[in-house]
Amino acid sequence: MRYRFLRFPEGKFKAVTFSYDDGVKVDLRLAEIFDKYGMKGTFNINPSHILRGEFEKFTTPDEIREHILGRGHEVAIHGEQHIAPGVSRPVDAIRDALLGREQLEEIFGTIIRGMAYPDSGVRRFHNGNSYENVRGILENVGIVYARTLGADNNTFLLPTDWYNWVPTIHHANKEAMSYVDTFLSQKEENYRTASRHPRLFYVWGHSFEFRNNDNWELIEEICEKLSGKDDTWYATNMEIWEYCHAYDSLIWNAKGDVVYNPTFHKVWFDIDSRPFSVAPGETLKIEIEYN
């Protein structure tokens, strides 16, 4: 075996995901657009607005249950009080992440482990905090991934550090459509064995930006262009984390030609440009003829 790369469910080469912050009412319009184009999104919510009953501006639990969770989208943590953990005292960062998680789980009666950092997140540090410390806090609070900001790029890579998950673009990036086109032009068969890593397109923002700028056609266009592709998996942030976690949990022999899948996910991968999958509980012998 020379090279092995993850493939998404059904052996797909690419995935698309969205992450939208703050839980404002127009999330519901955005969720409808995602539904129309078969997209899956993650909505990052501050429970303090819900517990204070600020429903003029923010979505209600019933609206979230019906239009977000009920349509296969994800609810994730965005802090209780929406404070950037990097510039907070460690004790405040602990409280904000933990209460953000506990209160959302209480409201929705489910397990919530994803997060998007509020404000500057882990781009700036102050009050004795550091990236390593914030990461440790989130790990101890049971959060498994956290989306950060910035570094817009068109490398389409999966994160190597799930607590520093950098999106592909904010939707208002002036290069957004060009990045979409570049992503669409990436075809598995065009890459040689060493470059066949999976591709991810990850868009983030706030739905109120579309309302404030009256440019809903922008997100419609992004979704329409990305939609309906046979080689693409449309998934929430957490679905991507869970699947990648299953891939990383596969157990291999030293030679790399026997694999055991201890997870509940069927897992796909590419070895030296050949497709394979291993079912939950299965031990698979990999047979490859090299010319």
CB-nearer residue toward Zn ion: 22 or 80: 22
**Cβ-closest residue to Zn ion?**
21
By the 8 A CB rule, do 8 and 233 touch?
yes
Task: Report how far residue 53's alpha carbon sits from residue 69's, in angstroms, rounded to the nearest whole number.
Answer: 20
Say whether residue 96 binds Zn ion (CB under 5 A).
Answer: no
44 and 116 in contact (C-beta within 8 Å)?
yes
Query: What string marks each residue from 12 to 31 as x (binds Zn ion by CB under 5 A) or -?
Result: ---------xx---------
Ranges within 104-143 binding Zn ion (CB under 5 A): 118
Residues 6+ apart with CB under 8 A from 14: 8, 156, 183, 186, 198, 199, 200, 201, 229, 231, 232, 233
Question: 88 or 263, CB closer to Zn ion?
Answer: 88
Least CB distance from residue 82 to Zn ion, whole Å?
6
Looking at 186-291, list the stretches that DSSP marks H as alpha helix, in order from N- to C-terminal side.
207-213, 216-226, 237-249
Q: Are strands 258-260 and 251-252 parallel, antiparallel or unpaired?
A: antiparallel
User: For Zn ion, which is the closer residue by CB, 204 or 234?
Assistant: 204
Residue nearer to Zn ion on the CB measure, 81 or 154: 81
| Number of residues forming the site for Zn ion (CB under 5 A) | 3
Binding to Zn ion, residues 182-241 (CB under 5 A)? none
Whose structure tokens read 């990436």? 186
Separation in Å, CA 170 to CA 100, 175, 232: 24, 10, 20
Among residues 104 and 226, whose Cβ is nearest to Zn ion? Answer: 104
Q: Which of 94, 39, 43 is nearest to 64 (CA)?
A: 43
Q: How far is the CB of 235 from Zn ion (least distance, A)?
A: 22
Residue among 60 and 81 whose Cβ is closer to Zn ion: 81
Q: How far is the CB of 213 from Zn ion (least distance, A)?
A: 17
Q: Which is nearer to Zn ion, 78 or 265 (CB)?
A: 78
Task: Provide the strand spans (E) within the chain.
Answer: 4-7, 14-21, 41-45, 74-77, 114-116, 145-147, 169-170, 199-205, 232-234, 251-252, 258-260, 267-271, 274-278, 283-285
Integer distance in angstroms from the first to the last C-alpha of the chain? 13
Q: Residue numbers of the site for Zn ion (CB under 5 A)?
A: 21-22, 118
